[in-house]
A = this chain, B = another copy of it.
Amino acid sequence: MRVLMCIPNISEGARLDVIEQVAEAVRGIEDVQLIDVSPDADHNRTVLSYLGEPEAVLEATRRMALKAFEWIDMTRHRGSHPRLGAVDVVPFVPVRGCKMEDAVEIARQFAAFVGDLGVPVYTYEEAATRPERVSLPDIRRGEYEGLPDKLADPDWQPDAGPAVFHAKSGAVVTGARWPLVAFNVNLRTTDLALAKRIARAVRHISGGYRYVRAMGVELVEQGLVQVSMNVTNYKKTPLPRVLETIRAEAARYGVSVVGTELIGTVPLGVLEQVARYYLQAHDLRADQVVEMALLQ
């Protein structure tokens, strides 16, 4: 069983008929499972999630992009989220039986497909061609409106497609990354400064764990504060280790952990890891999980 996930972000969050047509393009591919469609009207942006065998996911992504290019016109796009194009970001994520190299290869094939349509493409994260293209915010700086200048810059020649501004579709960023786990830890205090201090203690940018992004947030209605995190590589920075660090930091101030939240999809690997760590089930394997047998 080889499973790849794709989580494209398209620049349409309001016209539900357009979003439905894009989703339908994915559903049309047998062996691909569309698991979520989340439109956001304020951001004027929709996130789709689907998964399946890598070649089928690539085909679904090609059809998804053709449909989005057809209906989305970037010259008319307004929205509060940074974006470069109609098919803004297309990350491929290895889920099971797939290596990162497989995901990178699929991303490159998708980039070539889009480039052949005359739309410039940048590849990011694990599919980046140079260090300054690893980070999505770095690539997206200047946004759609800055694309003509960017494409004229020798340092920002696209990884696929022509260095020519495509007014209707903008540019595409595609690549491969590990699954991102949205993990929030709620603390029994209203002291936002403490949540911010702990966020700084665990996040990479300020000296913490390599694969953690974090910020302190107030949960006004619950009378709590939260350390809100994205763990970008849970295999290398395990959630239990991060939780125990937060617990210890909070305890220094007499504050305890109320609970945690895992938002959105969670790889089975996270649950295996939690059982290995806390249940001390050191040799647990995913293929022991009864439900996994149905996928073989």
- Name which residue of chain B comes closest to A35, CB basis: B293
Q: Does A275 contact B (CB under 8 A)?
A: yes
Among the stretches A19-27, A116-124, A195-203, A276-284, the one at the interface with B is A276-284
Residues on the B chain within 8 Å of A96, using CB = 291
Report copies per complex: 2
Q: Does A240 contact B (CB under 8 A)?
A: yes
Spell out A's residues near B (CB within 8 Å).
Answer: 3, 5, 33, 35, 51-52, 95-96, 179, 239-240, 243, 257-262, 264-268, 270-272, 274-275, 277-284, 288-296
- Shortest distance in angstroms between A205's beta carbon and chain B's nearest beta carbon? 24
- Name which residue of chain B comes closest to A179, CB basis: B290
- Contact status A266-B279, CB under 8 Å: no
- Other contacts beyond A271-B274, A278-B279: 5, CB < 8 A: A5-B290, A35-B293, A266-B288, A274-B278, A277-B278
- Shortest distance in angstroms between A15's beta carbon and chain B's nearest beta carbon? 26
- Contact status A275-B265, CB under 8 Å: no
3 cross-chain pairs, A with B, having the tightest CB-CB distances, nearest first: A278-B278, A271-B271, A35-B293
Q: How far does the alpha carbon of A240 sit from the alpha carbon of B281 in the complex, in Å? A: 11
- Contact status A265-B280, CB under 8 Å: no
Given contacts A95-B291, A260-B279, A280-B259, contact A296 B33 (CB under 8 A): yes
Q: How far does the alpha carbon of A292 sit from the alpha carbon of B286 in the complex, in Å? A: 13
Q: How far does the alpha carbon of A292 sit from the alpha carbon of B239 in the complex, in Å? A: 20
- Name which residue of chain B comes closest to A257, CB basis: B280
Interface-centre pick from A5, A264, A275, A296 (highest chain B CB count, 10 A): A275
- Contact status A290-B51, CB under 8 Å: yes
- Contact status B240-A265, CB under 8 Å: no
- Shortest distance in angstroms between A123's beta carbon and chain B's nearest beta carbon? 23
- Contact status B295-A295, CB under 8 Å: yes
- Shortest distance in angstroms between A187's beta carbon and chain B's nearest beta carbon? 11
- Contact status A295-B294, CB under 8 Å: yes
Given contacts A271-B289, A274-B275, contact A280 B260 (CB under 8 A): yes
- Contact status A281-B259, CB under 8 Å: yes
- Contact status A261-B278, CB under 8 Å: no
- Shortest distance in angstroms between A88's beta carbon and chain B's nearest beta carbon? 22
Q: How far does the alpha carbon of A277 sit from the alpha carbon of B95 in the complex, in Å? A: 25
- Contact status B35-A279, CB under 8 Å: no
Taking a contact as CB atoms closer than 8 A, the residue among B259, B279, B284 that contacts A240 in the complex is: B279
